[in-house]
A and B are shown apart, each in its own frame.
Chain A
């Protein structure tokens, strides 16, 4: 297999606008061609799009609108995890030698239908994601004594981090009291524990080593990939204080990259709800089971931006198809030393964790400078 790099990135401001999805995606693609050292539309031989907007032939439409005539173009859809799945497909095309340069773009509008999986009869009338989130929260609180205040610190920290992210949906900080007093959606999920659907798009260029050197002086290498699907319905993850697909995916990503958790300097993980960050930190080995809340509290107390420096989904917003790519854009910026006020010092190895539908599937990427 050939080495595979990320050589360029673009992103839009996450917000709510009248702009159609195509415009959002093109807005994230434009800075890639503006900023790359040497990259023309003719160089791109793969275009992959990710969205939950049920749009037919979208990759071909985006190719035409951006003046690209790729060999391979198609969409990759896997709910919240679509963007990271797209990147994995691009990796496969480039590492196999089938293609040299892949443009991967993800985007969604706030009203996209991806939040509810209608197929899943097991969710009964409790179709909204707050309900699976509340079940994870109940299980973790019972087993490990996690408190509502512990959960609130995830939100406070990630909103605070988002203040230094010019592309974030939220532009204000929230105090512990604000989160604790925000509207109860269930007994243990409050409004400010939730990520917000919004509009946004993000794009990256995934390419071979030779092409990466032409495009940039600071390529970032994709050294580890782990993906796992347990199910589509919310019925097969037996222990609700843990996320089985995430544990599987991270083990494979560490194995492939020959890294351990101790090597990771900076992380973007899928905090669709506060409880997700706590469970994922534990399941990916950043702390012992039951210590996730303390880990988050320590990060907050020391203003450590190691976890979700762009604000995660809670602070940056969650345009589903864009989220996985936006996470990768952040780690790319961190590892190239271009994360400005969010910069984690001396970051050389980063991790991206994304997942779908109550962690029924997960993707973990290890990226290195």
Chain B
């Protein structure tokens, strides 16, 4: 999955999208998990929705959802504490052993 990691390192969040049924396949894969069709890398929208939130050592972390089905764990940079359903914006992403996603509150 090096293309995925390389793009994240360059602050680009891309995900595999099916060329046949246009479904975003997450976690990323060469094959569509609906129709097993081929996938290509597509940029993911910067806007996300908060699914759930908690904090560690005063720093909020969350599950955010992109495109209606791409759920990731990430960090919330603001000190705000939004409720599930609230809009988030992907501030930046990276890759260093694991993916990193950082959000601001919309």
Interface residues of A (CB under 8 A from B): 119-127, 131, 134-135, 137-139, 142, 185-188, 233-235, 240
- Interface size, B (range): 20 to 34
Q: In the complex, A253 Cα to B74 Cα: how many Å?
A: 36
Q: Is the interface of B mostly helix, strand, loop or mixed?
A: strand
Contacts of B1 in A (CB 8 A): 121
The reply to whether A121 and B54 contact each other, CB–CB distance below 8 Å, is no
Please give me the residue from chain A that is nearest to B65 by CB atom. Answer: A235
Please give me the residue from chain A that is nearest to B55 by CB atom. Answer: A187
Q: Does B41 contact A (CB under 8 A)?
A: no
Please give me the residue from chain A that is nearest to B56 by CB atom. Answer: A186
6 residue pairs of the A-B complex, CB under 8 angstroms, read A120-B27, A121-B4, A124-B74, A137-B54, A138-B53, A235-B72
Contacts of A240 in B (CB 8 A): 51-52, 63
Interface residues of B (CB under 8 A from A): 1, 4, 26-28, 51-56, 61, 63, 69-75, 84, 98-101
Please give me the residue from chain A that is nearest to B15 by CB atom. Answer: A121
Indicate which residue in A122, A138, A186 contacts B73 across the interface (CB closer than 8 Å). A122
Q: In the complex, A215 Cα to B61 Cα: how many Å?
A: 53
Given A122-B73, A124-B74, A124-B100: A138 touches B28 (CB 8 Å cut-off): no
Given A127-B98, A131-B73: A122 touches B26 (CB 8 Å cut-off): yes
**Residue with the highest number of chain A CB atoms closer than 10 Å, among B53, B56, B100:** B56
The reply to whether A186 and B55 contact each other, CB–CB distance below 8 Å, is yes
Contacts of A135 in B (CB 8 A): 52, 54, 63
The reply to whether A235 and B100 contact each other, CB–CB distance below 8 Å, is no
Please give me the residue from chain A that is nearest to B61 by CB atom. Answer: A126
Work out how many contacts link A and B, with CB atoms closer than 8 A: 67
The reply to whether A235 and B71 contact each other, CB–CB distance below 8 Å, is yes
Q: In the complex, A127 Cα to B99 Cα: how many Å?
A: 10
Q: In the complex, A135 Cα to B64 Cα: how many Å?
A: 12
Contacts of B61 in A (CB 8 A): 126, 131, 134
Q: In the complex, A126 Cα to B75 Cα: how many Å?
A: 9
Given contacts A124-B99, A186-B56, 9 further A-B contacts (CB under 8 A): A121-B27, A121-B28, A122-B73, A124-B74, A125-B73, A131-B61, A233-B27, A234-B73, A235-B72
Contacts of A186 in B (CB 8 A): 54-56
Contacts of A124 in B (CB 8 A): 72-74, 98-101
Contacts of A120 in B (CB 8 A): 27
Contacts of B26 in A (CB 8 A): 122, 233, 235
| Distance between A182 CB and nearest chain B CB, rounded to angstroms | 15
Contacts of A125 in B (CB 8 A): 73, 75, 98-100
Contacts of A234 in B (CB 8 A): 71, 73
Contacts of B56 in A (CB 8 A): 134, 185-187
Q: In the complex, A320 Cα to B35 Cα: how many Å?
A: 34
Contacts of B99 in A (CB 8 A): 121, 124-125
Contacts of B84 in A (CB 8 A): 139, 142
Q: In the complex, A119 Cα to B29 Cα: how many Å?
A: 11
Q: In the complex, A138 Cα to B83 Cα: how many Å?
A: 11
| Distance between B75 CB and nearest chain A CB, rounded to angstroms | 8
The reply to whether A138 and B98 contact each other, CB–CB distance below 8 Å, is no
Q: In the complex, A139 Cα to B50 Cα: how many Å?
A: 12
The reply to whether A187 and B54 contact each other, CB–CB distance below 8 Å, is yes
| Distance between B68 CB and nearest chain A CB, rounded to angstroms | 12
| Distance between A257 CB and nearest chain B CB, rounded to angstroms | 33
Contacts of A188 in B (CB 8 A): 54
